[in-house]
A = this chain, B = another copy of it.
Amino acid sequence: MIETAKNSFKKQGFMKVLGAKMVSIEKGFVKIECELKKELTQQHGFFHAGVLTSIVDVACGYAALSAMPKNSDVLTVEFKTNFIRAAQTDKIIAIGKVIKSGKTLTFCEGRVTDMKEEIIFATMQATMICLKLNK
């Protein structure tokens, strides 16, 4: 399902706009990087909360998909994001990992950090649902 996740990521027009790159994927784990540009800012010129949330949601979603059976697709049921500190930096990493992969639901946790993965900007808890594809 890792190839499926990679291909699905490429189909997301929104990830292209953000300039987000999936730099790492293994079963139940995804890492995405994103560089700051003017288009991604809030009123103070930092990364927008919506950008942080969008990329860590996608990291969690594809982490979940990578652990699902063949012919599945993934949808976000819900998530919750805590904004620990303002993302005053020029590049961020979002990590999504699976806490439990069930038949229907997958629970994930995510984080957005600086490039050294030391300073936490945001944390996420997310619930994903597995959609069976008719193939």
- Cβ of A58 and Cβ of B50 under 8 Å apart? yes
Which chain B residues border A41 with CB–CB below 8 Å?
12-14
The A interface is mostly helix, strand or loop, or mixed, namely mixed
Copies of this chain present: 4
Q: Mark A72-96, 1 if CB is under 8 A from B, else 0.
A: 0101111111111110000000000
Q: Which residue of B lies closest to A8 (CB)?
A: B43
Q: Give the size of the chain A interface in residues (CB under 8 angstroms).
A: 47
Which chain B residues border A16 with CB–CB below 8 Å?
39
Q: A13-B40, A14-B50, A78-B80 are in contact. List 15 more A-B contacts (CB 8 A).
A: A12-B41, A17-B40, A49-B76, A50-B50, A50-B54, A50-B57, A51-B54, A76-B83, A77-B82, A78-B81, A78-B127, A80-B125, A99-B120, A109-B123, A125-B125
The residues of A with any CB-CB pair to B shorter than 8 Å are 8-9, 11-14, 16-17, 38-43, 48-51, 53-55, 57-58, 73, 75-86, 99-100, 104-105, 107, 109, 120, 123, 125, 127, 129
